[in-house]
Amino acid sequence: MGIVEGKVAIVTGGGRGIGRAVSLLMAKEGASVVVCDIGASLDGSGGDAGPAQEVVAEIKKGGGKAIASTLNIVEPQNGDLIVKSALDAFGRVDIVVNNAGILRDRIFHKMSWSDWSDVIAVHLHGSFNMCHAVAGIFREQNSGAIVNMTSTSGLIGNFGQANYMAAKLGIVGLSRGIALDMQRYNVRSNCIAPFAWSRMIGSIPAETDAEKKRLERLQQMTPETIAPLVVYLGSDAAEGISGQIFSVRNNEVFLFNQTRPIRSMHRSDGWTPEKLSQQLKGAFGPSLTPLDRSGDVFSWDPI
């Protein structure tokens, strides 16, 4: 008996990289899987039914159950249609993994509206569409698990990714909101910030020696290292865990803290710009968050 035996999982971006690894492990652990992937290029252009169909074929070859969907999750009605296909094929839905994404990296002053809106649409709107499509079902069956992919680019920062950072941090807010609203119906919603070598990571420019060494470290981490935590969070064994942010880096699993006040100051006579100028830097300066990138914070080699 696998940890998700008898459950039905929908995995977006399930045809390649992390999504493929998650789809395969879900099936190995007993779930029936809807592999959703439009087969687009990294920037979201084009389409190919091949990746989703290949993962379905691999699952079936191993004795598992799976169907493919090439519907684009950016369109709200497609979320409903994907869920309907799961219900038609397997009779229920228990887990949604929001993994699909694209990249349009640009330094901010050169970022176009389409660079911004297309990335937001796939990551954030797509995640909303899939979550919303199952919300009523999860409520009625009084159970369900959602796993959303965020990124340390959003949680910490990176150059040339204001669109991606905004989308990935927005997913944290979406996931937390779902966790709060749906807890009364035993629905869990969590985030994972994955470290794994994939098309997205492979597109990061490496010009300096430090950047090249960072990419070398990332190449050690395969998508298969992410899948176990995704499957665990989708299982009943993760009961009571909701609204959290995790990260996986090779053999390391991290729990992230979340934004809370860390310092305060007050004046009984209130504040003016001049008074703030006199006091704010001295009071808050040592605690201001530095402009770090993800690689600055995760500076040690993967374990």
- Residues labelled as active-site residues: 164
Q: Is the CB of residue 12 less than 8 Å from the CB of residue 126?
A: yes
230: enclosing H helix or E strand: helix 227-234
Of 131, 230, 246, nearest in space to 181 by CA: 131
Give the separation between CA 218 and CA 38, rounded to whole angstroms: 26
- In three-state secondary structure terms, 92 is coil
DSSP three-state, residue 191: strand
Helix/strand/coil for 234: helix
Strands 144-149 and 95-98: parallel
3-state SS assignment for residue 295: helix
Report residue 293: phi and psi, to 5°. -105, 170
